[in-house]
Structure 1
Amino acid sequence: MKIAVVTGATQGLGLALVESLAQRMNPEDIVYLTGRDSTRVQQAVETLPAGGARVRGEVFDVGVPDAAARFAGLLRERHGGVDIVFNNAVMRVGPDDDPRAIVDEYTQVNNFGTTRVLRAFAPLLRDDARLIVVASSLGTLHHLAPVLHSRFAELSSLDAVDEQVAAWRDAVRDGSARAGAWPGFVNIPSKIAQVAAVRALASARRAEDRRRGILQAAVCPGMINTPTSGLWWDVSTAPSPAQAAVPLADLALGPVDPAHYGELVRFGKVLPWSVGGAAR
């Protein structure tokens, strides 16, 4: 029996990922559809078609400091380990949001939530498991001013990533980020920090994970036709969440490409972390 977990799964890409995984997994398998609101979790479960793996709804808010550890402990008790984890939970922002007003909650979900999930679920990974963070092509150093590259370039621990995120968050909150080299679009440093977190954890686990057939990676699903994306860009011709979920499910269920380990992957290809950079 295989166990899969998808965070932020009550709508959009997360819900599509649950459906795609469930339809391609076996009836004895379980896919956990998680979100922070119990009513929305239950409603999302009820929208899914029958067939394939069982879908089980659970309340799990990655923005709550101890939630990832508690949920991982629950799954350890129930199943002994996990096979697929998609960290997809995200706080979305619109063009009219003031970064100073939202950056605390934003980083709690998108960044500290990511590192909490990585810390909590990495020890539960079974052989041939997948631990995948849904990020963005914005999550490379190409999108950051060179003077800031050293902040995220080669961080060796999740604690170090959290320290850099906290420093950036504080600069946004007090307004000094706008006076410096930080981009005004908070998604850019946030996505870079997510990829840096994957790279940091992978650097510590690379040899053992490769021996056991485990893949840890960040993934870019590309532009998706959702209402939130539509606030920023013209997404009228972009893929639907269901279409965007297909290559992500392929990454989770297909054979491991060693070149993907610890990297940001888009449509099966590694996106270089830095200018002139190559996959490790």
Structure 2
Amino acid sequence: MSLNQIAVVTGSNKGIGYAIVKGLCEKFKGIVYLTARDSAKGLAAVNSLKQLGFNPLFHQLDITDENSINAFKDHIKTTYGGLDILINNAGVAASHDLPKEEQAKYNVRVNYFGTLNVCEALFPLLRNNAKVINISSSAGRLQRIPSTQLQNKFKDKNLTISNLSKLMEKYIKDTKEDRNEAEGWGTSAYVVSKVGLTALTNLQQNLFNEEKPYRNIYVNSVHPGSVKTDMNKKESELKGKYLWFDCRIVDWDGPMPQ
């Protein structure tokens, strides 16, 4: 079984994920996995990086598909026995042209539940001193949720991942019943999905802090800054040589910037 260090980046055939893979290939002394839902696009991205002199490996991974997640988990476990870096980049911003119920379901299903399912599958494989990064957003700051009551639920010291998931399901239900604004969620499904992801990150770190034997694992959520990608219609400008260096830890509960 290989003793190489292993890094995995989800949703990495383009945009931020692709740039992270590129940066890892330059600086990480181990094996880097580029993963994508679409195998053809993923392999094309790998070939593009190989033409630049890098050598990432590819594996299909759809974070909304339990069978795909389990196949990837089994591959990593059987081939390497564990992994050292997990970057949960895969995410979506549902079109505002969709009905708001569909926006809620799609954003939360991918950005929150998809990432959660990948983590639950791969966390047992994390080696001592592993690092996990969840690509969140400035939209994932708690104060983006208008309701103080909901904010308090998200930052309740007794909150569990199970209860957080129920809270995210409630948001979908409230939106379906056209009560999302009345219940204090606001109007952005993307915001709610990223707040959920940032809250999840905090809970995951708490669990790693308490686990025995202690593996010294760190989990952070980051805001990648203004980035020129398909998701934001390429309206922003790429800043920095690699996006990896432009990421900042999400300020979860501070005042909103002016």
Q: 1:239 aligns to what?
A: 239
1:148 aligned onto 2:147: no
The residue identity in structure 2 corresponding to 1:38 is S
Structure 2 equivalent of residue 274 of structure 1: 253
Structure 1 275/220 Cα, relative in aligned 2: closer, same or farther at 3 Å?
A: closer
2:27 corresponds to which letter in structure 1? Answer: R
- Say which is worse superposed, 59-68 or 109-118, in terms of deviation: 59-68
What do residues 140-177 of structure 1 show as CA deviations (whole Å, max 9, x unaligned)?
Answer: 21111212113311364322221111111121223211
Q: Secondary structure of the residue that 1:229 maps to in structure 2?
A: coil
Q: Give the structure-2-normalised TM-score.
A: 0.87
Q: Name the CA distance, whole Å, in 2 between partners of 1:76 and 1:157.
A: 27
1:1-280 pair list within 5 angstroms: 1-26=4-29, 29-49=30-50, 50-51=52-53, 54-145=55-146, 146-154=148-156, 156-208=159-211, 212-230=215-233, 234-235=235-236, 237-239=237-239, 243-247=242-246, 266=248, 270-275=249-254
Once the 2 structures are TM-superposed, how far is the Cα of residue 209 of structure 1 from its aligned partner? 8.7
User: 2: distance between equivalents of 1:159 and 1:66?
Assistant: 22
| Counterpart secondary structure, 1:63 | coil
Moved over 6 A (4+): none
Q: Supply the distance in 1 between the matched residues of 2:161 and 2:118 (Cα, whole angstroms).
A: 11
Equivalences, count: 249
Q: Distance in 1 between matches of 2:232 and 2:77?
A: 36
SS at match of 1:227: coil
1:9/1:168 CA distance change after superposition, 3 Å? same
Return the TM-score normalized by structure 1: 0.80
Of 131-140 and 96-105, the range deviating more from structure 2: 96-105
Structure 1: where are the runs of 5+ without partners?
A: 249-265
1-side partners of 2:12 and 2:73: how far apart? 17
Q: CA deviation at 1:207?
A: 4.3
Return the offset for 1:211.
Answer: 5.1
Per-residue CA distance 1:155-206 (angstroms, 9 max, x = gap): 6432222111111112122321133321111111111100111111211221
2: CA distance between counterparts of 1:148 and 1:207?
A: 26
3-state DSSP class of the match of 2:7? Answer: strand
CA RMSD of aligned residues (A): 2.3
**Which letter maps to 1:274?**
D
Question: 1:140 is aligned with what amino acid?
Answer: R
- What is the DSSP-based 3-state SS (H/G/I as helix, E as strand, rest coil) of the residue aligned with 2:242? helix
User: SS state of the match for residue 34, structure 1?
Assistant: strand
Amino acid at match of 2:206: S
> Residue type of the partner of 2:133?
I
One-letter amino acid matched to 1:186: A
Give secondary structure in 2 for the equivalent of 1:176.
Answer: coil
Give the whole-Å Cα distance in 1 for the aligned partners of 2:21 and 2:63. 17
- Structure 2 unaligned blocks of 5 or more: none
CA distance in 2 between counterparts of 1:142 and 1:66 reads 36
Please report how far the alpha carbon of residue 275 of structure 1 lies from its aligned counterpart in structure 2 after TM superposition.
4.3
Q: Is the 8 A contact 1:157 1:201 kept in 2?
A: no
**Deviation of 1:114 (Å):** 1.3
Q: For residue 121 of structure 2, what is the amino acid of its counterpart?
A: A
